[in-house]
Chains A and B, each alone.
Chain A
Amino acid sequence: MGLNMERISDALRGTVRIEISGSFPESLLNTAALSGIEVWNIECLDAWTVCLDCYENRLPELESAAMDCGCDLKVLSRRGGRGSLRFARRRLGLLIGLGLAALLLFASSLFIWRIDIRGSSRLSRGEILRALEDSGVSVGSFWPALSVEQVRSEMMQRLPDVGWMTVNVSGSRAVVLIQERISRPEIYRESGSVDLVAAKGGLIRRMNILAGAPKVSAGQVVIPGELLVSGQRASLTDSGESVRARGTVMAETWVELNAVCPLEEELKTPTGFSHSRFALIFGKRRVNLYFSSGKAIDACDKIISEYTLGMEGLFSLPIRVVRERIVPCRYTVGDGCDREAMARRLYTGLEQDTEGQILQYSLTEGSDGGLYVLTLRAHCNENIAAPVERTQQDAGKEYYDR
């Protein structure tokens, strides 16, 4: 920074490179030092010639000192100072243009031209942008007039899922930081009456009951919805005691899952001859740099990329370049079934649905009415007990609708 300031100072004051020749050029250096004339970059060319730099405004004094010392002084080059002023006078239009550009850049930096959203997972970008626009933050907003507190309070009213938010503006770029509200966890109540019913049908192998009265026993076959453990426990008093039935009921189950897919479907294949077209967006106004925008491009894939002009972290210009890459496609009829993917998804579904072990499974292929059918049959050993809140109407019930 110091070096740059020195350079700016030198450029404003103006410096000259001079050549001094004489029988004793050192005498001129001494005279200059005694007169307080600053000299630097003193280069000895030979015993009688020396080159040096000095400020342009001290040149007349140095010239007169050179005459007194019997030296010849020759100006080799000039930098900055009056020379720059002459340069500027000759290129006044360019300088005015540069000044205007700087002024426009400064004015443009007072408006928001780009909005980045961070920290949202449940809320979509569109929802947040709409709410921000209603709260006064949009592309083209004058950001010095924004009140972050007001925007925050309005946003939290409009979007109940927002727990906290703030807007940071740097160089025409607004960064919206969002902290989403954490949903309240489900409260587990110790009291109340809960029954355990069969989530799936199967053959009971083992029961481990922690609370409640068992209604079935090992070796018994149950159907889905059948009461396994009752939350109504017999008491020493006349009225029965209500508890939350807890425990595991391990049973052998047989599961069948199906996946279907049309044997013939339209497949899209890119023809390989893609082309791009461009548009400019000034603030909110779009200018297409192409004709025939109404032309149907149904048989094409359109990939849109948007670029904001500016320098990251410094400034953004109110101009965005839009590139639309259009890839023409051809439709063909073919077999669109990915059998491996279907089998993988069936097995993943079975794993997610089974609260225990998969003992064995098999896959069967078939077709039905133009559809490809993949069937997965599995034999599992799993916990089939599922808790169900029991109401007064459920009293004495042995089967629940599953």
Chain B
Amino acid sequence: MKKNKELTWALAEKLDLPGDLVPGAGRVTVSGGRQAVIEGHRGILDYSEERVTVSFVRGRLSLLGSGLRLKAMNGDELLVEGEIQTAEWG
């Protein structure tokens, strides 16, 4: 399974395709440091006013800041609002 995903990424890189076209790849859009739209997530790992950690197929994303709030959530998308200071991918 893991090998298949690696192959998909390698193929996408060879074909010069945008990363968000790869199945299972997450996409994060931060607007003005106040709002973040996260697409293709696999669930929340941690949620507090200072940190929101979201799981993806390949890794996890941590948004750090103050007054963070999950404005809306469904199976694919997440909307986070608040003072976003740092985004860490790991």
| Residues 35-50 of chain B, each 1 if its beta carbon lies under 8 Å from chain A, else 0 | 0000001011111110
Q: How far is the CB of B89 from chain A (nearest CB, A)?
A: 19
CA distance A26 to B75 in the complex (A): 14
Q: Which of A35-43, A117-125, A220-228, A320-328 contacts B (4 or more CB under 8 A)?
A: A35-43
B-facing residues in A376-392 (Cβ within 8 Å): none
Known: A30-B43, A34-B43. A47 touches B48 (CB 8 A): yes
Q: Does A29 sit at the interface, judged by CB under 8 A?
A: yes
Q: Is the CB of A39 within 8 A of B43?
A: no
- Report the nearest A residue to B44, measured CB to CB: A26
- A25, A26, A38, A47: the one contacting B74 at CB < 8 Å is A38
Closest chain A residue to B71, Cβ basis: A40
- B contacts with A: majority SS: strand
Is B73 part of the binding interface, using a Cβ–Cβ cutoff of 8 Å? yes
Task: Tell me how many residue pairs across A and B have CB atoms closer than 8 Å.
Answer: 50
Interface positions, chain A 42-59, Cβ under 8 Å from B, are 42-44, 47, 50, 52
Residue A33 at the chain B interface, CB threshold 8 Å: yes
Instruction: Flag if B47 contacts A26 (CB, 8 Å).
Output: yes
Q: Chain A at the B interface: mostly helix, strand, loop or mixed?
A: mixed
In the assembled complex, 18 residue pairs joining A and B whose CB atoms fall closer than 8 Å, in A order, are: A26-B44, A26-B47, A29-B43, A29-B44, A29-B47, A29-B70, A33-B43, A33-B73, A34-B43, A36-B74, A38-B72, A39-B73, A39-B74, A40-B72, A42-B72, A43-B69, A44-B48, A47-B48
Interface residues on A, range: 10 to 19
Q: Which of B46, B69, B70, B71 has the most CB of A within 10 A?
A: B70
B residues with CB within 8 A of A? 41, 43-49, 69-75
CA distance A34 to B41 in the complex (A): 10
Q: How far is the CA of A189 from the CA of B41 in the complex (A)?
A: 94
Say yes or no: B73 contacts A42, CB within 8 Å: yes
Write the chain A residue with the least CB distance to B76: A33
Q: What is the minimal beta-carbon distance from A359 to any residue of chain B, in angstroms?
A: 81
Residues of chain A at the chain B interface (Cβ within 8 Å): 25-26, 29-30, 32-36, 38-44, 47, 50, 52
Chain B nearest CB, measured from A399 CB (Å): 96
Whole-angstrom distance between the alpha carbons of A287 and B45 in the complex? 74
Decide: B43 and A44 in contact? CB cutoff 8 A. Answer: no
Is B73's CB under 8 angstroms from A29's CB? Answer: yes
A268 to B74, CA, bound (A): 81
Question: 10 closest A-B pairs (Cβ-Cβ)?
Answer: A30-B43, A42-B70, A40-B72, A26-B44, A33-B75, A26-B47, A39-B73, A38-B74, A29-B44, A36-B75
- Min C-beta distance of A71 to chain B, whole Å: 13
- Complex partner residue of B72 from A26, A39, A44, A47, CB under 8 angstroms: A39
Tell me, in angstroms, the Cα distance from A42 to B73 when the chains sit together. 8
- Inter-chain CA distance A44–B75, complex, in Å, is 20
A401 to B36, CA, bound (A): 99
- Distance in Å from the Cβ of B78 to the closest Cβ of chain A? 8
